[in-house]
Structure 1
Amino acid sequence: MNSGDPPLFTILLLIHRPPDMLRLALESVLAQKRQSFEIFIVCDGAPGETASEAERLARNDERIHVRAFPKGERHGEQYRAQIIETESRGRYICHIDDDDLWMPDFLDGMARLLDLVDFGNLLQVAVKPDGGLRLIGFDLGSPEVRNRMVNERWNFFGPSVCGYRRTAYDGLERGWSPAPEDVPTDLFMWRKFLRRDEVTAATRHQIGALCPRAPRRQHMTMEERAAENTALLERIRDPESRDELIQTVWRNAARDLFKLRFPD
C-alpha cells in the first residue's frame, strides 16, 4: 500500500491505564496477514507514561497515530466518534482493547465478513486466570440473537472482535456516544446498528481474539497480566502452538455442548 492510498481498515485502540500490555496488543495488530490498515492509539486520560510509550511505538511505523485526551465520559466514546468522523480513512472499522490479542488472520476474516455485511463479529475466546479457554459463540445472523441484544441487557462479543463498514456508521443518526450508566458501552453502540432494519449483520465463526478479561484479574498486578499476555502472544505467533490452541478451544466447546445436550 502506498502511503497516499486509503487503508482497508481503521483500527482504534483505546487505553486508560499504564502501558504494560499496550505493546503486546499492538504487536498482535502489526503481525496481521492483511497489512492495509491505520491504527489510532487513543489515550483516554491514560497516565503520561502511556502516551510516551505509545509515541515511542508510533515512531517505528507511520501507520500508527497517537491521540492523547483528558479522561472522557464513560469509556472515551466521544473520542472514538471524533477520530472516526474526522480522521479515519479506512473502508472498515475495528477496535482492539489493550489487554486483548488478535489472531494473525483476524483482519483477513473480518474483511471476508464485511465484504458481505455491514456489521458483525468474529468469535472471542475468554482466557480464564487458570489458563482455561472458553469460546463465546453465538450467531448474530440469527433474528433471535439480534432481537435479544436489542431488547435485553445481553451481549456476546466485545469491541476486540467487532467490525463495521464506514458507510454503515455514517448512516447512523448518531455514532459513538456515552452510554447510560446501566448499559455497557459496547452493547449501547451495537444496538445502534442492530435497531436499523437496513443494516445487515452476521457472525463469522472464526476465532478472532484472545480476551483475558480484567474483572477476573483484579488479584493480579499489571506486571503479572503483561507476563500472561506475553505467553499468550508467543503461543499464537508460533504456527504449531497456535494450531494446538485453536484445537483446544474447539474441543472445549464441543465438550460444553455435549454437557448441555446430555446433562448428568
Structure 2
Amino acid sequence: MESRATVIIPTFGDAKFACWAIKSVQEQTIKDIEICIICDGSPENMVALFKNIAKEDVRIKVFTYPKSPRTGEPYRDAVIKQTTGKIICYCSHDDLWLPNHVQELEKTLHTCWFTHSIHAVVNMPDKENTACAEPLAKAESRLCPSGNIALIQAESYSGSSLFSHIYWADLQDPIIIDKMLNGRNFFGLTYGAHTRESYVNLEEGWITTPVKNIPTDLYMWCKFLSGYKERCKTTMKITALSFPKLYRKEWSEQQRDDELKLYFEKILDPSFLKRIDNIS
C-alpha cells in the first residue's frame, strides 16, 4: 500500500545527534510516511541505536551499507526502489524539519515534479547577538526574480539574529536555474523533494557523484532541473533548519547534540513557528 511520503535520512559516523533529525521527522503533521534511515558505514553502536528507535515506531526502517566513496548516493536509489511514498523527501542527520515540512512540499508537488523550501541557516549561539559576525556575515541573500542578489539585514528573532543566512531562490527564474546548472547551490538535501514518478522517469537517479568539487545534492538536483525545467517550483516557505558543520568544526558531538535538542524543543513551540512563518 502506498504511503504519502518516503523520507530518507542519510547518516554516517558516530552521529548520536541524528536522533533529533529523526524526531523532527516523526513529528510531521502528515503521519502517513515511511522513514528510512540509511547508515553509510555507520559504526555498530549507531546502527544499534537506530534499530532501537525503530522498535518504537513501525514507520522507521534502518538500512545498513558499507561506507561509500562520498555520501551514500547509490544507497538512496536502492531505498527509493524498495519504498512506496508518492513523494520523496530528505533530511540530513544534523538538520531539523519544522512540523509542516512534508505538508508544505506535498502541497507544491500537486502542481509540479520537483520542489524545495527556503534554505535557512541557524546562527551559532555566540553569534546570535552580533548580527551575523564573521565568518557568517554575508547577511542573508534574497534572490530577486531578475536573478540579482540583494543583501538585506538578517531577520531578528527575540532581539537576536536567529538565522545567519536565508537563501531566497525561485526555480521559476531561468537565471537561478542557469546558476545551479553551473555549480551554484541554493538549497541543501534537507530542503529538496520530488514525486516518485519524476524520479522514475529520469534517465539516471542517485549515483556516486563523479566530480569531487560538486556537492552531491546539487548533482542530483541538476538532473531534475535539466529534465523538467518548468515542472520545478519553489515552496516559498522556511520549513526546515540547517546547522552546518562547516561553522561548527571545533564543536564536540555533545555540543552539536545539545544545540539540536534545544532547537527541537523550540520547533514544538507554536510561537516560535509563527515567527519563522512571518519571515517567509
For the criterion TM > 0.5, the same-fold answer is yes
208, 214, 231: which one aligns with 2:239: 208
CA contact (8 A) 1:119 1:200 kept: yes
Residue aligned with 2:111, SS: coil
Question: Aligned AA for 2:21?
Answer: A
Q: Does 1:163 align with 2:163?
A: no
Residue 212 (structure 1) shift: 0.6
Match of 2:267 in 1: 236
Alpha-carbon deviations, 1:206-240, whole Å to 9, x = none? 11100010111001101001101111111110112
Aligned partner letter, 2:62: V
**Which segments of 5 or more consecutive residues in structure 1 lack a partner in the other structure?**
251-264
Kindly report which structure 2 residues correspond to 1:190-209, keeping only aligned pairs within 5 A, or say none.
Answer: 190-197=221-228, 200-209=231-240
Do the aligned residues in 2 keep the contact of 1:45 with 1:69 (CA within 8 Å)?
yes
Name the residue aligned to 2:257: 226
What is the number of residues matched between the two proteins?
243
Determine whether 1:117 maps to 2:112: yes
Other-structure match for 2:86: 91
- Using the TM superposition, give the Cα deviation of residue 246 of structure 1 relative to its aligned residue in structure 2, in angstroms: 4.3
Q: CA deviation at 1:28?
A: 0.5
Matched ranges for 1:1-264 at <5 A = 5-85=1-81, 87-129=82-124, 130-131=127-128, 132-133=162-163, 134-150=165-181, 152-179=182-209, 180-197=211-228, 200-247=231-278, 249=279
Displacement of 1:111 after TM fit? 0.7
Q: Secondary structure at the match of 1:206?
A: coil
Aligned residue in 1 for 2:135 = none
Q: In 2 relative to 1, CA 73–34 (structure 1 residues): closer, same or farther, beyond 3 Å?
A: same
Q: Under a length normalisation based on structure 1, what TM-score does the superposition of the two structures give?
A: 0.88
In 1, distance between residues paired with 2:198 and 2:272?
37
Paired-residue identity, %? 29
Compute the TM-score of the two structures, normalised by the length of structure 2: 0.83
1:244 CA drift (Å): 3.3
Report the alpha carbon displacement of residue 168 of structure 1 after superposing the two structures with TM.
Answer: 0.6
- Over the aligned positions, Cα root-mean-square deviation in angstroms equals 1.4
Shift of 1:241: 2.6
Q: Kindly indicate whether the alpha-carbon contact (under 8 Å) linking 1:125 and 1:211 is maintained by their aligned counterparts in 2.
A: yes
CA–CA separation in structure 2 for the residues paired with 1:228 and 1:181:
30
- Matched residues in 1 for 2:59 and 2:33: separation? 7
